[in-house]
Amino acid sequence: MKKASWPLWIFGGLVALFVVGLMLNPRHVPSPLVGQMAPALQGTDLLSEQPIDSADFNQAWLLNAWASWCSGCYLEHSHLMELTKTQPGLVIVGLNYKDQADDAKAWLDQHGNPYQHVIFDPTGRIGMDWGLIGTPETFLIDAQGRVVDKWMGALTPERIERSLLPALQKLDAKGGR
Nearest to 122 by CA among 95, 100, 94: 100
Q: Is 138 helix (H, G, I), strand (E, B) or coil?
A: strand
For residue 51, the cross-strand partners are 44
What is the rounded CA–CA span in Å between residue 51 and residue 53?
7
What pLDDT was estimated at residue 21?
A: 44
What pLDDT was estimated at residue 3?
65
Say what the pTM is.
Answer: 0.81
The CATH code for residues 28-174 is 3.40.30.10
**What are the average pLDDT values for consecutive 10-residue runs of the chain, which has 177 residues?**
63 50 49 85 95 93 98 96 93 97 98 97 95 94 94 95 95 79
* pLDDT number for residue 40: 92
- pLDDT at residue 29, as a whole number: 52
Alpha carbon distance 63, 130 (integer Å): 10
> How is 35-93 classified by DSSP, letter by letter?
TSBPPP-EEEBTTT--EEEGGG--S-EEEEEE-TT-HHHHHHHHHHHHHHHHSTT-EEE
What pLDDT sits at residue 8?
62
Query: What is the predicted pLDDT for the residue at 51?
Result: 96
pLDDT at 30: 59
Amino acid at 136: P
